[in-house]
Structure 1
Amino acid sequence: MRTTLINGRLILPDEIAETGYVVIEDGKIAAIGKGEPAAPLSGEVIDARSLYISPGFIDLHTHGAGGADFMDGTVEAWLTVAETHARYGTTALLPTTLTCPDEELFHMFDVYTEAKKRNTQGAQFLGIHLEGPYFAYSQRGAQDPANLKQPVPEHYRKILDASGDIVRWSIAPELPGALELGRLLKSCHILPSVGHTDAVCEEVMEAFESGYSLMTHLYSGMQGVTRRNAYRYAGAVEAAFLIDRMDVEIIADGIHLPKSLLQLIYKFKGADRIALVTDSMRAAGMPEGTYKLGSLKEGQTVVVEDGVAKLPDRSAFAGSVATTDRLVRTMVETAGIPLPEAVRMMTATPARILGVDDRKGSLQAGKDADIILFDDHIRVARTLIGGKTVATSDRTVQAQLT
């Protein structure tokens, strides 16, 4: 039950070690060091051949990949999403809903339970992220307006009673009753997140005091400086910058947010407060073409081109098709962020936000052996989850060698 990775460039919490090794035993990191291991090697030995050895990527917000969506309502779809994302370096993720009828949502809870049992080759499921249905109509984006609701106790308590697997809930905090819901979620160790909101800065500040400590896809589904009658108000975007302890997630595909905004967010928040997320729909990891956003049965038709999903009339984006490797690559190659900082935004920071940093998010002895190998262009060559290899790419290894 021992595996040793050798001859790799280790991405450690505070530095990159140009040559190092990682020893894995029983799914955990048993030892880590620079240079070569002193003791004789036993068990499986994987030669990293100067590839980077990195903590696995953690995606706090994804809807689908590989032609499947979590809203499809089948275990097979869930496993397809998990296995597709694993090929691109994701070792753990939060399956994310879209606003939908209650019966569809409750069915998803049942599917989660079964899919988690059967998920042996894909990114781990760390709990469910509910995106909706408590959103501002004007900021609904691709969310179905027919299923938007107000957060009343009779409704949200029914949802909470239906599943113990909810770990995050994105909500517009300015809605009547949303602050009370935020306080309840915090007491239940569920992360309330500001999303699809018309809140101004002062309302977000009040929400932060009620437990809303994360911004869902910053800049998307919210407003910046706005006017109400003759007066200017700072918006949710400015609140994210003003509140030092507010975490933000960003869709760093280089399209939802251009280079200048990626750099601005990094300048204000730093790697310790930014989580990179795919917010991907089913076309992630697939060729360009026509797809359904949301479930195959009820979803909206969208066109995937230029590396993003769009409405058929090209009037707006309709979802991301990013994978986690692309997010890190964009931060490094487009935004000019140092590699260790970009990796932290995809590993240690999301682990801390989710409260799993005691076991995930960094290469440290005792933590889960969720590890990936990638080259200088962040092309993933191998993905290990709990010390088990679940995906490899010989093409990437050969590219690195040549």
Structure 2
Amino acid sequence: MIDRARELDAADPLANYRERFILPDGVVYLDGNSLGCLPAATPPAMARVVEQEWGEGLIRSWNDADWFEMGARVGGKIAPLIGAQPHEVIATDTVSVNLFKLISAALQMRPGRKVILSEPGNFPTDIYMIDGLERQGLATQRLAPRDRLLDALDEDVALLMLTHAHYKTGELFDMAALTSAAHEAGALVLWDLSHSTGALPVDLDAVGADFATGCGYKYLCGGPGAPAFAFVAERHLADLSQPLTGWFGHARPFAFADAYEPAPGIEQLQCGTSPILGLTALEVGVELIAEIGVARLHAKSQALSEFFLDCVDAHGLELDLVSPPDSARRGSQLSFRHREAYAICQALIARGVIGDFRDPDILRLGFAPAYLRFEDMAEAARHLAEVLEGEEWQRDEFNQRATVT
């Protein structure tokens, strides 16, 4: 398969973008769906902000370098990647914090309703945020399997909150159908795009989404702990009211007034002071992904995952694929179930093939198309075959549970 992989790489229109990332030698990185690789332009951009804007400009850079508007500027650059208008998106806080803000805002827009509907097995922080509001008496959690979500929509549901691409299996929801069904039931919809943004086509305005959030450190390559983003549909901006009334969300933050006056637009979703260094790194990643184009990235992602499955078949491996077999119905990943998934994952990492493990028995391999090659797919499949066929995963050092990549 290696010869076929090299033929595909030679014909890949995105091949040259690999040079725009810093990639360690001898590593096949299949964990970009947890932490994206470092763009080569990020270190000099960070150095400029640290040495010039901070080091020389000091406090003046809030105006001279436009730090104050940075959250809105970066949000505006994310907007086209998710089918939104620039004034509907702000780069701020974390996914967890943004979920709390947006859930609270939705509850206020639906007085008399307290139910937040989601699915069991959603990413934990999404459910934890509902739980936190429920413990304050502000919300009621309702979880329904994805094939029963439509049945669970009733007049008590204020908000349907789902993750577009499931973090463990990669299975996609039909955003348009579920958003429409929720609206028919009088509910609002919040989409978590953490495993979609920068890898999959998303059109929030076209599907009529109300709210969305997503992280900046996966496919957007913004670095560990990069700021997240939040989306509010234009039609809701006038009625938006979020509970974390910090000074950066004030209409006139430098008036230093005692009374809180929310900013009139998406800027209200800001809370504390913007993390300028984090936003700087995120902006570099967003610009690079936008330059490549989400449609092209998605097409290559599908091709990479399909070729990897071909390589697995060529090695005669019998793996339990838990991701949808149809690449159009999954995110930019493949997940396999194996009782020794943790040990297999660790054995692969020791060989330089970095994927990840999700409890209790999932080996998850992410395909970040901006910097991966078809040759990487062939090599990863070869290593996987050698680990499984040689029962390398049985070695003691690979079975000691520790912090998982």
TM-score by length of 2: 0.29
Name the structure where strand makes up a greater proportion of residues. Answer: 1
> More relative contact order in 1 or in 2 (CA 8 Å, sep 6+)?
2
TM-score by length of 1: 0.29
